[in-house]
Amino acid sequence: MDALANVLKAARLSGGVFFRAEFSAPWCLGGCLTPEMCAPFVGAAQHLVPYHYLVDGEILVSVNGQPAQPLRGGDIVLFPRNDFHVMGSELGLPPINPADVVLAEGRDKIGTIRHGGGGAPATFVCGYLGCNHLLANPIMSALPPMMRLRVEDSPAADWMRSTFEYAAHEATAGRQGSAAVLAKLSELLFVEAVGEHVRNMPEEGTGWLAGLRDPGVGRALALMHGDVSHTWSVEELGRRAGMSRSGLAERFTRLIGVSPMHYLADWRLQMAGQMLRESPDPLVRIAERIGYESEAAFSRAFKKKFGQAPATWRRAGTDS
Protein backbone atom coordinates (compact mmCIF):
# COMPACT_ATOMS: atom_id res chain seq x y z
CA MET A 1 0.00 0.00 0.00
CA ASP A 2 3.04 2.33 -0.19
CA ALA A 3 1.90 3.87 -3.49
CA LEU A 4 -1.59 4.43 -2.09
CA ALA A 5 -0.18 6.15 0.99
CA ASN A 6 2.09 8.35 -1.16
CA VAL A 7 -0.78 9.43 -3.42
CA LEU A 8 -2.91 10.29 -0.42
CA LYS A 9 -0.04 12.25 1.10
CA ALA A 10 0.40 14.21 -2.13
CA ALA A 11 -3.34 14.81 -2.32
CA ARG A 12 -3.07 16.91 0.84
CA LEU A 13 -5.81 15.37 2.93
CA SER A 14 -7.29 18.42 4.59
CA GLY A 15 -9.00 16.80 7.53
CA GLY A 16 -12.00 14.76 8.49
CA VAL A 17 -15.41 15.69 9.81
CA PHE A 18 -17.03 13.09 11.99
CA PHE A 19 -20.46 13.25 13.53
CA ARG A 20 -23.09 10.90 14.84
CA ALA A 21 -26.42 10.68 13.03
CA GLU A 22 -29.51 9.16 14.59
CA PHE A 23 -32.28 8.74 12.00
CA SER A 24 -35.73 7.17 12.39
CA ALA A 25 -38.18 6.01 9.73
CA PRO A 26 -39.50 7.38 7.54
CA TRP A 27 -36.60 9.40 6.17
CA CYS A 28 -34.75 9.92 2.90
CA LEU A 29 -31.76 12.12 2.04
CA GLY A 30 -30.55 12.76 -1.49
CA GLY A 31 -27.67 14.79 -2.92
CA CYS A 32 -24.11 15.43 -1.86
CA LEU A 33 -22.23 17.94 0.23
CA THR A 34 -20.10 20.35 -1.74
CA PRO A 35 -16.62 21.51 -0.69
CA GLU A 36 -18.07 24.97 -0.11
CA MET A 37 -20.59 23.60 2.39
CA CYS A 38 -17.89 21.79 4.35
CA ALA A 39 -15.21 24.49 4.11
CA PRO A 40 -15.59 25.47 7.81
CA PHE A 41 -14.73 21.91 8.76
CA VAL A 42 -12.25 20.59 6.17
CA GLY A 43 -10.79 23.82 4.80
CA ALA A 44 -10.41 24.67 1.12
CA ALA A 45 -10.72 21.12 -0.18
CA GLN A 46 -11.29 20.64 -3.90
CA HIS A 47 -12.96 17.27 -3.43
CA LEU A 48 -14.90 15.48 -0.72
CA VAL A 49 -15.14 11.78 -0.05
CA PRO A 50 -18.16 11.07 2.15
CA TYR A 51 -18.30 7.79 4.02
CA HIS A 52 -20.68 6.41 6.61
CA TYR A 53 -20.47 3.60 9.14
CA LEU A 54 -23.89 2.16 9.97
CA VAL A 55 -23.69 1.29 13.66
CA ASP A 56 -27.09 -0.37 13.81
CA GLY A 57 -30.31 -0.53 11.86
CA GLU A 58 -31.11 -1.25 8.21
CA ILE A 59 -31.33 1.25 5.34
CA LEU A 60 -31.30 1.45 1.56
CA VAL A 61 -28.77 3.36 -0.54
CA SER A 62 -28.49 4.17 -4.24
CA VAL A 63 -25.98 6.16 -6.29
CA ASN A 64 -26.61 7.86 -9.64
CA GLY A 65 -30.05 6.28 -9.95
CA GLN A 66 -28.75 2.71 -9.78
CA PRO A 67 -30.77 -0.05 -8.09
CA ALA A 68 -30.94 0.30 -4.33
CA GLN A 69 -28.62 -1.75 -2.13
CA PRO A 70 -29.43 -2.70 1.47
CA LEU A 71 -27.08 -1.82 4.31
CA ARG A 72 -27.19 -3.25 7.81
CA GLY A 73 -25.37 -2.55 11.05
CA GLY A 74 -21.62 -3.04 10.62
CA ASP A 75 -21.51 -1.86 6.99
CA ILE A 76 -19.42 1.04 5.68
CA VAL A 77 -20.48 2.83 2.52
CA LEU A 78 -18.14 5.23 0.69
CA PHE A 79 -18.75 7.54 -2.26
CA PRO A 80 -15.22 8.12 -3.63
CA ARG A 81 -16.28 10.63 -6.31
CA ASN A 82 -18.99 12.27 -4.18
CA ASP A 83 -21.62 11.33 -6.77
CA PHE A 84 -25.30 12.03 -6.22
CA HIS A 85 -26.63 9.43 -3.80
CA VAL A 86 -29.84 8.70 -1.96
CA MET A 87 -30.05 7.05 1.47
CA GLY A 88 -33.08 6.32 3.55
CA SER A 89 -35.54 3.97 5.19
CA GLU A 90 -37.53 4.24 1.95
CA LEU A 91 -36.08 5.60 -1.28
CA GLY A 92 -39.48 6.40 -2.76
CA LEU A 93 -39.90 9.34 -0.41
CA PRO A 94 -39.08 12.88 -1.61
CA PRO A 95 -35.38 13.22 -0.70
CA ILE A 96 -34.18 16.04 1.53
CA ASN A 97 -30.89 17.76 0.74
CA PRO A 98 -28.26 16.47 3.24
CA ALA A 99 -27.02 20.03 3.81
CA ASP A 100 -30.41 21.01 5.21
CA VAL A 101 -30.04 18.33 7.87
CA VAL A 102 -26.30 18.28 8.54
CA LEU A 103 -25.94 22.06 8.69
CA ALA A 104 -29.28 22.74 10.36
CA GLU A 105 -27.61 24.22 13.44
CA GLY A 106 -25.15 26.38 11.51
CA ARG A 107 -21.89 26.04 9.64
CA ASP A 108 -19.54 26.36 12.58
CA LYS A 109 -20.42 23.18 14.46
CA ILE A 110 -21.68 19.69 13.75
CA GLY A 111 -22.81 17.63 16.72
CA THR A 112 -25.19 14.72 16.95
CA ILE A 113 -27.81 14.93 14.21
CA ARG A 114 -31.33 13.61 14.73
CA HIS A 115 -33.82 13.36 11.92
CA GLY A 116 -36.86 11.34 10.88
CA GLY A 117 -40.38 10.34 11.81
CA GLY A 118 -39.84 8.35 14.98
CA GLY A 119 -40.04 4.85 13.50
CA ALA A 120 -37.36 2.18 13.08
CA PRO A 121 -33.98 3.68 14.07
CA ALA A 122 -30.68 3.72 12.19
CA THR A 123 -27.49 5.10 13.74
CA PHE A 124 -24.46 6.25 11.76
CA VAL A 125 -21.01 7.64 12.27
CA CYS A 126 -20.37 9.87 9.26
CA GLY A 127 -17.08 11.17 7.94
CA TYR A 128 -16.01 13.53 5.18
CA LEU A 129 -12.48 13.52 3.86
CA GLY A 130 -11.21 16.59 2.01
CA CYS A 131 -8.44 16.29 -0.57
CA ASN A 132 -6.92 17.74 -3.72
CA HIS A 133 -8.91 16.35 -6.63
CA LEU A 134 -6.09 16.52 -9.17
CA LEU A 135 -3.61 14.51 -7.14
CA ALA A 136 -6.20 12.11 -5.71
CA ASN A 137 -7.37 11.22 -9.22
CA PRO A 138 -5.44 7.92 -9.58
CA ILE A 139 -7.37 6.57 -6.63
CA MET A 140 -10.78 8.17 -7.13
CA SER A 141 -11.01 7.34 -10.83
CA ALA A 142 -10.13 3.70 -10.09
CA LEU A 143 -12.80 3.23 -7.43
CA PRO A 144 -16.47 2.49 -8.14
CA PRO A 145 -18.98 5.30 -7.45
CA MET A 146 -20.11 3.46 -4.32
CA MET A 147 -18.17 1.03 -2.13
CA ARG A 148 -19.95 -1.14 0.41
CA LEU A 149 -17.73 -2.86 2.95
CA ARG A 150 -18.68 -5.20 5.75
CA VAL A 151 -16.56 -4.22 8.76
CA GLU A 152 -16.94 -7.61 10.39
CA ASP A 153 -15.25 -9.24 7.39
CA SER A 154 -12.12 -7.11 7.78
CA PRO A 155 -9.08 -8.22 9.83
CA ALA A 156 -9.18 -4.70 11.30
CA ALA A 157 -12.87 -4.92 12.29
CA ASP A 158 -12.43 -4.07 15.98
CA TRP A 159 -10.05 -1.21 15.20
CA MET A 160 -12.31 0.30 12.52
CA ARG A 161 -15.44 0.07 14.66
CA SER A 162 -13.82 1.60 17.76
CA THR A 163 -12.06 4.29 15.71
CA PHE A 164 -15.29 5.48 14.10
CA GLU A 165 -16.93 5.68 17.52
CA TYR A 166 -13.93 7.49 19.02
CA ALA A 167 -13.81 9.97 16.14
CA ALA A 168 -17.49 10.79 16.48
CA HIS A 169 -17.11 11.28 20.24
CA GLU A 170 -14.12 13.60 19.82
CA ALA A 171 -15.84 15.66 17.14
CA THR A 172 -19.02 16.02 19.18
CA ALA A 173 -17.06 16.98 22.31
CA GLY A 174 -15.14 19.62 20.32
CA ARG A 175 -11.94 19.07 22.25
CA GLN A 176 -9.09 21.43 21.47
CA GLY A 177 -6.49 19.76 19.31
CA SER A 178 -8.80 16.97 18.16
CA ALA A 179 -8.86 18.29 14.58
CA ALA A 180 -5.37 16.96 13.86
CA VAL A 181 -6.27 13.58 15.35
CA LEU A 182 -9.47 13.38 13.31
CA ALA A 183 -7.62 14.29 10.13
CA LYS A 184 -5.22 11.39 10.62
CA LEU A 185 -8.04 9.03 11.52
CA SER A 186 -9.82 10.02 8.30
CA GLU A 187 -6.77 9.07 6.29
CA LEU A 188 -6.21 5.79 8.13
CA LEU A 189 -9.84 4.73 7.82
CA PHE A 190 -9.91 5.56 4.12
CA VAL A 191 -6.67 3.67 3.46
CA GLU A 192 -8.02 0.65 5.36
CA ALA A 193 -11.32 0.76 3.44
CA VAL A 194 -9.59 1.04 0.07
CA GLY A 195 -7.18 -1.70 1.08
CA GLU A 196 -10.09 -3.99 1.93
CA HIS A 197 -11.64 -3.18 -1.46
CA VAL A 198 -8.37 -4.05 -3.21
CA ARG A 199 -8.07 -7.34 -1.36
CA ASN A 200 -11.57 -8.33 -2.49
CA MET A 201 -11.12 -7.39 -6.15
CA PRO A 202 -11.32 -10.24 -8.71
CA GLU A 203 -7.96 -11.67 -9.75
CA GLU A 204 -8.50 -10.75 -13.39
CA GLY A 205 -9.15 -7.08 -12.62
CA THR A 206 -7.23 -4.25 -14.26
CA GLY A 207 -6.66 -0.60 -13.40
CA TRP A 208 -4.63 1.38 -10.89
CA LEU A 209 -5.83 -0.58 -7.89
CA ALA A 210 -5.18 -3.91 -9.59
CA GLY A 211 -1.64 -2.69 -10.28
CA LEU A 212 -1.31 -1.71 -6.64
CA ARG A 213 -2.10 -5.29 -5.63
CA ASP A 214 0.34 -6.87 -8.07
CA PRO A 215 3.72 -7.44 -6.33
CA GLY A 216 5.92 -6.24 -9.20
CA VAL A 217 3.74 -3.42 -10.55
CA GLY A 218 2.84 -2.33 -7.02
CA ARG A 219 6.53 -2.10 -6.16
CA ALA A 220 7.22 -0.04 -9.29
CA LEU A 221 4.36 2.31 -8.42
CA ALA A 222 5.69 2.70 -4.88
CA LEU A 223 9.17 3.51 -6.19
CA MET A 224 7.92 6.17 -8.62
CA HIS A 225 5.61 7.81 -6.10
CA GLY A 226 8.23 7.61 -3.38
CA ASP A 227 10.86 9.56 -5.35
CA VAL A 228 9.27 11.39 -8.25
CA SER A 229 12.39 13.45 -9.05
CA HIS A 230 14.60 10.40 -9.58
CA THR A 231 15.67 9.65 -13.15
CA TRP A 232 13.76 6.40 -13.39
CA SER A 233 14.07 3.95 -16.26
CA VAL A 234 11.99 0.85 -16.91
CA GLU A 235 15.15 -1.21 -16.52
CA GLU A 236 15.89 0.15 -13.03
CA LEU A 237 12.26 -0.13 -11.96
CA GLY A 238 12.16 -3.72 -13.15
CA ARG A 239 15.39 -4.62 -11.40
CA ARG A 240 14.25 -3.15 -8.09
CA ALA A 241 10.82 -4.74 -8.46
CA GLY A 242 12.37 -8.15 -9.12
CA MET A 243 11.26 -8.28 -12.77
CA SER A 244 12.83 -8.05 -16.19
CA ARG A 245 12.52 -4.81 -18.13
CA SER A 246 10.18 -6.36 -20.70
CA GLY A 247 8.22 -8.23 -18.04
CA LEU A 248 7.51 -5.07 -16.06
CA ALA A 249 6.67 -3.04 -19.17
CA GLU A 250 4.17 -5.65 -20.38
CA ARG A 251 2.51 -6.25 -17.02
CA PHE A 252 2.40 -2.57 -16.05
CA THR A 253 0.79 -1.60 -19.36
CA ARG A 254 -1.74 -4.43 -19.18
CA LEU A 255 -2.83 -3.56 -15.64
CA ILE A 256 -2.51 0.24 -15.57
CA GLY A 257 -3.32 0.95 -19.24
CA VAL A 258 -0.21 3.00 -20.01
CA SER A 259 3.53 2.36 -19.98
CA PRO A 260 5.55 3.02 -16.80
CA MET A 261 7.26 6.09 -18.27
CA HIS A 262 3.97 7.52 -19.55
CA TYR A 263 2.44 7.04 -16.11
CA LEU A 264 5.42 8.69 -14.40
CA ALA A 265 5.37 11.67 -16.75
CA ASP A 266 1.65 12.19 -16.18
CA TRP A 267 1.98 11.99 -12.38
CA ARG A 268 4.89 14.44 -12.38
CA LEU A 269 2.85 16.99 -14.29
CA GLN A 270 -0.14 16.57 -11.99
CA MET A 271 2.15 17.26 -9.04
CA ALA A 272 3.55 20.29 -10.84
CA GLY A 273 0.04 21.63 -11.39
CA GLN A 274 -0.56 21.61 -7.65
CA MET A 275 2.87 23.03 -6.83
CA LEU A 276 2.23 25.96 -9.14
CA ARG A 277 -0.96 26.77 -7.24
CA GLU A 278 0.52 26.36 -3.76
CA SER A 279 4.21 27.29 -3.97
CA PRO A 280 5.92 30.58 -4.86
CA ASP A 281 8.96 28.66 -6.13
CA PRO A 282 10.23 29.68 -9.60
CA LEU A 283 9.44 27.38 -12.52
CA VAL A 284 12.98 26.08 -12.72
CA ARG A 285 12.80 24.88 -9.12
CA ILE A 286 9.46 23.16 -9.65
CA ALA A 287 10.84 21.51 -12.79
CA GLU A 288 13.76 20.13 -10.80
CA ARG A 289 11.52 18.86 -8.01
CA ILE A 290 9.53 16.68 -10.41
CA GLY A 291 12.50 15.36 -12.35
CA TYR A 292 12.89 17.70 -15.35
CA GLU A 293 16.38 18.76 -16.31
CA SER A 294 15.32 22.08 -17.86
CA GLU A 295 12.56 24.63 -17.42
CA ALA A 296 11.93 24.64 -21.18
CA ALA A 297 11.28 20.89 -21.34
CA PHE A 298 8.98 21.14 -18.34
CA SER A 299 7.04 24.06 -19.84
CA ARG A 300 6.50 22.23 -23.14
CA ALA A 301 5.27 19.08 -21.41
CA PHE A 302 3.02 21.03 -19.04
CA LYS A 303 1.36 23.00 -21.83
CA LYS A 304 0.80 19.84 -23.85
CA LYS A 305 -1.04 18.22 -20.93
CA PHE A 306 -3.01 21.15 -19.51
CA GLY A 307 -3.35 23.41 -22.54
CA GLN A 308 -1.77 26.32 -20.66
CA ALA A 309 1.73 27.50 -19.95
CA PRO A 310 2.81 26.98 -16.31
CA ALA A 311 2.78 30.72 -15.60
CA THR A 312 -0.77 31.06 -16.98
CA TRP A 313 -1.92 28.09 -14.90
CA ARG A 314 -0.39 29.67 -11.77
CA ARG A 315 -2.09 33.04 -12.37
CA ALA A 316 -5.45 31.35 -12.94
CA GLY A 317 -5.16 29.61 -9.57
CA THR A 318 -4.25 32.86 -7.83
CA ASP A 319 -7.21 34.70 -9.37
CA SER A 320 -9.78 31.98 -8.58
Residue that wins the pLDDT comparison between 312 and 9:
312
158 falls in which pLDDT band (50, 70, 90)? confident
Mean pLDDT of 175-182: 61
- For residue 290, what pLDDT band results from cuts at 50, 70 and 90? very high
pLDDT score for 22: 92
Whether residue 192 contacts residue 154, with contact meaning beta carbons closer than 8 Å, is answered with yes
Please give the DSSP secondary-structure letter assigned to residue 194: H
pLDDT tier at 36 (50, 70, 90 boundaries)?
low
d(C-alpha 117, C-alpha 229), whole Å: 57
d(CA 315, CA 171): 37
Indicate if the pLDDT at residue 176 is higher than 60: no
* Residue-level pLDDT at 221: 94
β partners of residue 87: 29, 61
- Strands 85-88 and 147-150, by their bridges, are unpaired
Q: What is the mean pLDDT of the chain?
A: 84
pLDDT band at 139 (very low <50, low <70, confident <90, very high): confident
More confident residue, 139 or 220: 220
In this predicted structure, what is the pLDDT of residue 288? Answer: 95
Least confident span in 82-96, 124-138, 191-205, 306-320: 124-138
The 10s digit of each residue's pLDDT in 230-287 is 999 999 999 999 999 999 999 999 999 999 999 999 999 999 998 998 889 999 999 9
Choose among 30, 66, 32: nearest CA to 47.
32
Q: What is the pLDDT of residue 11?
A: 65
The number of beta carbons lying within 10 Å of the beta carbon of residue 97 is 14
At 3, the pLDDT band (50, 70, 90 cuts) reads: confident
Give the number of other Cβ atoms within 10 Å of residue 147's Cβ. Answer: 18
